[in-house]
Structure 1
Amino acid sequence: MSSKPPPRYQICLIGSGGVGTIASLVLTKSGVAHVTCVLRSSYTHISQHGWEIDSIDHGKLSAWKPDRIVRSANEAAKDTNECPVIYDYVVVCTKQLPSISPIPEMISPIVTPGKTTIVMIQNGMGIEEDVIQAWPGNAVMSSVSHIGSSVKSPNTVVQIGKDVSKIGPHLHAGIDDSISIERSKEYVKMYNMGGASVCEWVDDIQLARWEKLLWNGTFNTLCALMRMDVGELQRSKGREAILVPMMWEIWNIAKAAGHPMPETIVQWMAYRLPDDCNYRPSMLLDLEHGRPMELDVILGNPLKKALDLGVDTPCMSMVHKLLKLEEWKISQNQV
């Protein structure tokens, strides 16, 4: 009887929400990875009962678990025999809150300098900069994910939108481009082996991030600011009054930064959803529940880039200032 070959890749994933849990499922299903998931608040329940998954891509799974579940990155850094674990990939699926939970601090116990590739499945612009500064000799890549997946307490994940993503490397001076490209392509191959709906490797990941920012920087922020769902924002004429002008500001920043998008993308992004769409974006949900918003990376960093490049952003700047006031109110309630 032949023995099962050892997994080719050691992977540690942090952030098992709706997106992260599906990512851990896909990576586990690839058959070439041993997946360790860091679970904090949900550790006890998931370790006992596993996940109940209802997925458009993977069907219904009961009591599903990845290969290993741990409470912290420090625990993930060693195996059950207390031997160090050298991870090939660390996959970060948490919210991007650099002022509250800096990513380098969060993942430092499980990153081996010069060895571990860091994969960021997160929103916003400039998310890679702190990681590259912390590990200048490591490959860094990110994923622009379009997926409809959420967690229903305590252990149910419902995925209603297909797992579609663009993935590419963040090339930087500390590591040869060919290595960064190779490691990102290996990850994409593995992710496709696990049954992702669409996982596409791209050579310009920044362009993909700017494209997604056309949504996150406008619908996400304006729905939060006005406490409206997408359809309400559109029916109120807010789309024409401020959302489309904001999109053009983002389009202009991306062009000035060397990542031009086709002009047709603004019309398509602004008008692709019906006026009765009742979708409530993530920033609105965070605001309603008194949770920190990803404001720094969704608007703050693009505005810094616009200032450096001399791009005028009156709409984005005002929305950012108003949401900073909302952010302050949330912080007061947390004292």
Structure 2
Amino acid sequence: MDTASGLTYAVLGTGALGGYYGACLQKAGLEVHYLLRSDFDLVQRQGLVIESPDGDFALPQVNAYRRSPDMPRCDVVIVALKTTQNHLLPDLLPPVVKDDGVVLVLQNGLGVEAEAAAIAGPERVLGGLCFLCSNKVGPGRIRHLDYKKISMGEYSAAGEAVGITDRMRRIAADFERADIPIELAEDLVLARWKKLMWNIPFNGLSVVLNATTQDMMANPDARSLAEALMEEVMKGAAAQGRAIAPEFVQTMLDHTAKMKPYRTSMKIDYDEKRPLEVEAMYGNPLRAAQAVGARLPQIQTLYQQLRFLDAQNRGL
């Protein structure tokens, strides 16, 4: 039988993503510590509740903290904040990472590990792409709807493919023990571009079109627009020397068509008038492509629309 690695985990950002993965790790017997803000009092008293098609479960007692200096230093610090909160990392990260610990950045976008690397050192950072449909539906309550796989890779400041390391395997074993499928990526940059194949069309269009994934897939015009955006993502990846097979477009469309009706994380942020992850998800890929001479006009248009809507929505 598999046994836990003995690694300790900290979760910075106990929301729909961090709360779900952290709870799964704790349920599997791992030591997990959670940083919370608005939910701190309730979670400290009542714990976390996960609703899931895999089976609902509750963790009546969790290690909850309001401030990162109050947390113990951990082997693996999971950054599950939105990228719009990365300006908090210089205060949050140093107190909680062991001297020989690593930071696992579970965020959307491209180049998002750089901020953690500037604090912890690039050699101590890994990146992860989460293929997860999950919403926070109340304080300390997370509803997992569909999918849950993570693709994880080593960060390189130079953007090189690092390959698969022993520490990746050790962390992956813990997630697999927690029934989280995990794919080890030899090239984190390629993995991030592949995730953008979904994020760029469906997160952005969900806001611009005011639609769920089901709405978009049911409409030929929206589906065609998503497909065209995916093809531009492939072009951006190719400009950075990363080839994505053309058939991956159909794979993403098929997965989305089978997905339970889902309001994307960006649409939820928009509806709640929270800042949108426009720069990490659109600005960074655009700038990376432009730096090597590639132009992505449809993504550029969506980027500018989202910047406008975000500013209007928050009264900026």
Task: Specify the SS of the correspondent of 2:84.
Answer: coil
Task: Evaluate the alpha carbon distance shift between residue 146 and residue 277 of structure 1 in structure 2; reply closer, same or farther with a 3 A threshold.
Answer: closer
> Is residue 60 of structure 2 the alignment partner of residue 64 of structure 1?
yes
Matches of 2:249 and 2:20 in 1, distance apart?
Answer: 30
**Aligned-residue offset at 1:273:** 3.9
* Equivalent residues of 2:23, 2:48 under 8 A apart: no
Alignment partners' CA distance in 2, 1:276 and 1:93: 23
Rounded Cα–Cα distance in structure 1 between residues aligned with 2:182 and 2:310: 34
Query: Partners in 1 of 2:33 and 2:127 — Cα distance?
Result: 19
Q: Secondary structure at the match of 2:95?
A: helix
> Which residue of 1 is the match for residue 283 of structure 2?
300
Q: 116-125 or 264-273: which moved more? A: 264-273
Please state whether the residue corresponding to 2:129 is helix, strand or coil: strand
Please say if residues 29 and 193 of structure 1, whose CA atoms lie closer than 8 Å, have aligned partners that are also in contact: no
Query: What amino acid does structure 1 have at the position aligned with 2:20?
Result: I
8 Å contact from structure 2 (residues 151, 191) kept in 1: yes
Measured in 1, the distance between the counterparts of 2:146 and 2:244 equals 25
Moved over 6 A (4+): none
User: Does structure 2 conserve the Cα–Cα contact (< 8 Å) formed by 1:93 and 1:121?
Assistant: yes
Given the superposition, is the C-alpha separation of residues 7 and 252 from structure 1 closer, same or farther in structure 2, using an over 3 Å criterion? closer
| Counterpart AA for 1:18 | A
Aligned CA distance change for structure 1 residues 54 and 238 (closer, same or farther; 3 Å)? closer
Give the superposition deviation at 1:324: 0.7
| CA distance in structure 2 between the partners assigned to 1:316 and 1:259 by the alignment | 18
Note the C-alpha offset of 1:232.
3.3
Q: Is 2:134 aligned against 1:139?
A: no
Match of 1:73 in 2: 68
Distance 1:102 1:253, change over 3 A: farther
3-state DSSP of counterpart to 2:127? strand
> Shift of residue 271 of structure 1?
5.0
Q: Map of 1:156-195 to 2, 5 A cutoff?
A: 156-172=141-157, 181-195=165-179
Q: Kindly report the root-mean-square deviation, in angstroms, between the aligned alpha carbons of the 2 structures.
A: 2.6
User: TM-score, length-normalised on structure 2?
Assistant: 0.89
**Aligned sequence identity (%):** 23
Q: Summarize deviations over 1:204-231 as a string: whole Å, max 9, x none.
A: 2222221111111011101211212234
Q: Do the aligned partners of 1:39 and 1:69 also contact (CA within 8 Å) in 2?
A: yes
Report the CA distance between 1:73 and its aligned residue: 0.8
The answer to whether the aligner puts 1:9 opposite 2:7 as a matched pair is yes
Structure 2: stretches of 5+ with no match in the other structure = none
CA–CA separation in structure 1 for the residues paired with 2:16 and 2:258: 26
1:87 aligns with 2:87: no
Contact residue 7 and residue 34 of structure 1 kept, 8 A = no
Moved more, 88-97 or 129-138: 129-138
Please give the residue correspondences for 1:1-335 in structure 2 after superposition, counting only pairs within 5 Å: 8-31=6-29, 33-57=30-54, 59-66=55-62, 68-76=63-71, 85-97=72-84, 101-113=87-99, 115-136=100-121, 138-172=123-157, 181-196=165-180, 198-234=181-217, 235=219, 237-240=221-224, 242-270=225-253, 272-274=255-257, 278-332=261-315
Distance 1:22 1:275 in 2: 22
Give the AA of the match of 2:25. Answer: L
1:102 Cα shift? 4.4
Q: Count matched residues.
A: 310
TM-score (norm 1): 0.84
What amino acid sits opposite 1:13 in the alignment? V
SS of the residue corresponding to residue 88 of structure 1 reads strand
Deviates more, 1:225-234 or 1:270-279: 270-279
Gaps of 5+ in 1: 77-84
Give the 3-state SS of the residue equivalent to 1:146 in structure 2.
Answer: strand
Residues 129/155 of structure 1: CA separation in 2 closer, same or farther (3 Å cut): closer
Kept after mapping to 1: 8 A contact 2:5/2:173: no
Q: Which amino acid aligns with 1:293?
A: L
Change (3 A) 1:210 1:65: farther
Deviation at 1:46, TM superposition (A): 0.8
Q: How far apart are 1:267 and its partner, in Å?
A: 2.8
Between the aligned partners of 1:277 and 1:13, the Cα distance in structure 2 is 27
CA contact (8 A) 1:225 1:284 kept: no
**1:134 maps to amino acid:** I
Give, in angstroms, the shift of residue 245 of structure 1: 2.1
Deviation (angstroms), 1:192: 1.1
